[in-house]
Amino acid sequence: MAKADRLERLDVRREELELAYREALIAALQTTASGKWGLFDHQKDKAARAKAAPIVADLCDTADEIDDLRTTLGLERFALHQDFMAARGPVSSDAVGEPKQARAWLDRLGVPA
């Protein structure tokens, strides 16, 4: 019984962290959609990268904690973070800009314009 209670508490904590991650990601995406570059790290702009770095670091830290809990609970890794990290980095010159990409992410997450 104690193990079941412990696992239930871990699962509740996982859900709380996933919600916090989602809210933080949405806030960052909304900022990016409004025209601030750096979240997706598409350009080699050191200033934009530096401004986004704490946000990305916080998202990564939260995702690491979520993944630790998911591993303990026998669940797969946190897909939202994996998808976000895969969307970051250099892109071709004809790729959409970060604000448009952020808007597409917000649409995907069901956040109205």
Write the pLDDT tens digit of every residue in 6-48: 999 999 999 999 999 999 999 999 999 999 999 999 988 899 9
* Sequence letter at residue 62: T
Residue 31, CA distances (Å) to 1, 2, 56, 106 in order: 45, 44, 13, 11
Its pTM stands at: 0.93
Q: What is the pLDDT of residue 113?
A: 74
Write the pLDDT tens digit of every residue in 55-111: 999 999 999 999 999 999 999 999 999 999 999 998 888 888 999 999 999 999 999
Contact 11, 73 (CB under 8 A): yes
